[in-house]
Amino acid sequence: MAACMMTFLQTRSLIFPLRNVSQMTLALQSFRTCFQQRCKVRLFSVGKSTVSRPRTNFRSTYGGLFSIGMIGLSAGFFSFGKKKEEDDPVLHLIKSAVLAQSQQLFPEAERLYHEALQTAEIRLKKKQMSDQDYLFAKTHIFDRMADLALSQGQLENSEKLFKETMKGCLQTGSTKTDNDIIEISVKLASIYALLKRDSEAEQGFEFCIETQKSKVSKDSEPDNDTLGLLGLALESYGRYLLLHRKYDQAQPMLEEAVEIAKKLWGEEHNQVLILLNDLATVQIFKKNYTSAEKTLKEAIVIGDKMQSKELPALYSNLGAVYLRQNLMDNARQACQTAKVKATHDKNKFSVSQADQCLQKIQSVLNKKN
């Protein structure tokens, strides 16, 4: 699953992530709930397509919690019935690649995607596939390959593939402000951010936010796709600004992302917890400890209702807030609660977080004595 916030373990700072993934991995596919279509194609299920990310000790930098689906294939797009659909070699290869990707068999998935492209080219030359069907198939495969490259930290390769995907979407009739193009644009902006191409990243994020806000303002009841993409752009840009220590700009982005998440999924959802944790991070760095405490307590109440596995990290972060306020008893209680819950969950990483919190408290007490 996607990561939730960056890790800060500084001399005077102790803020923990809710989850952890590779620094070079963008968590833009954590929940594939928003899109039902892209590039004018009906969504077609091609197996378990959600790609889980490996856990490491660093969070994804600009991951999007408002995740969206990749370009879908449909029986209608290939212009054949169910029997032919089952026999189609291109579709069969894509299904196999998606399955391999979901199992994190990345080299095998990449091999199968390339084979699918080659097969589609052969069928086009033999007049077994129309030009339009070939374009749809190629665009879908590029989209899958781009996400595969992204999940492995191959940023430059992923950038090229997303641009090919965008080109294909535009060729199928999308405009630069359509949701499918905005989705890719957010991903590209996140890639630019990781590549330290800050000007391109900022322009990309701002374009996506402005475009989606314009759509939302014109519709009293915007669809979930449009609203979810606005949330994705706000969250991604908010985290970018947070990492660049632009806290005053990051806070309203994350606050709005929280409200969108609540509207889309209700309060009792893990993505709401993750965003509240990120918001608390901004408030801590702004030294607004009262607001950070309130935000974390809200997340803890929600987490208790959900029996969330993220509670240990939330309690550890609450302990860090108390520590900064020199409220040692409260800090110790929060971090001990974190350790008890982490031990109960048999979560070694969260136990380690809680231990770090308790060690920091003891270190401060020792200096006072």
Residue 367 confidence (pLDDT): 86
Q: Mean of the pLDDT values across residues 136-165? A: 95
pLDDT at 111 over 70: yes
Residue 369 confidence (pLDDT): 73
Between 18 and 106, whose confidence is greater? Answer: 106
Residue 15 confidence (pLDDT): 62
Identify whether 300 is part of a domain: no
pLDDT at 53 over 90: no
Residue 43 confidence (pLDDT): 25
Identify whether 288 is part of a domain: no
DSSP assigned state of 71:
P
- Measured between its terminal Cα atoms, the distance across the chain in Å is 43
Residue 217 confidence (pLDDT): 94
Helix, strand or coil for residue 58? coil
Identify whether 246 is part of a domain: yes
| pLDDT tens string 259-315 | 999 999 999 998 899 999 999 999 999 999 999 999 999 999 999 999 999 999 999
Q: Mean of the pLDDT values across residues 195-220? A: 96
Instruction: Give residue for tokens 């370009």.
Output: 71
SS (H, E, C) 276-320: HHHHHHHHHHCCCHHHHHHHHHHHHHHHHHHCCCCHHHHHHHHHH
CA neighbor of 187 nearest in space, from 29, 56, 295: 29
Residue 238 confidence (pLDDT): 96
Q: With pLDDT > 90 as the criterion, what percentage of the chain qualifies? A: 70
Residue 158 confidence (pLDDT): 96
Residue 16 confidence (pLDDT): 61
Phi, psi at 106, each rounded to 5°: -65, -45
Domain of residue 221: give its range.
8-266
Residue 85 confidence (pLDDT): 54
250 touches 238 (CB < 8 A):
yes
Q: Can you give the CATH number for the domain in which 152 is found?
A: 1.25.40.10
Identify whether 40 is part of a domain: yes
Residue 321 banded pLDDT, cuts 50, 70, 90: very high
Identify whether 119 is part of a domain: yes
Number of compact structural domains in the chain = 1
| pLDDT tens string 66-105 | 444 444 433 334 444 444 555 789 999 999 999 999 999 9
Identify whether 321 is part of a domain: no
| pLDDT tens string 155-200 | 999 999 999 999 999 998 999 999 999 999 999 999 999 999 999 9
243 touches 61 (CB < 8 A):
yes
162 touches 186 (CB < 8 A):
no
Rounded CA separation 235/27 (Å): 12
CB atoms within 10 A of CB 163: 14
Residue 2 banded pLDDT, cuts 50, 70, 90: very low
What tokens does 39 get?
């590039």
| pLDDT tens string 19-39 | 433 322 333 333 222 222 333
CB atoms within 10 A of CB 247: 17
Q: Percentage helix, strand, coil, to 5, in the chain?
A: 65, 5, 30
Rounded CA separation 131/124 (Å): 7
Identify whether 283 is part of a domain: no
**CA distances (Å), 306 to each of 47, 302, 350, in order?**
28, 6, 18
Identify whether 333 is part of a domain: no
Q: With pLDDT > 70 as the criterion, what percentage of the chain qualifies? A: 77
Residue 368 confidence (pLDDT): 80
pLDDT at 324 over 70: yes
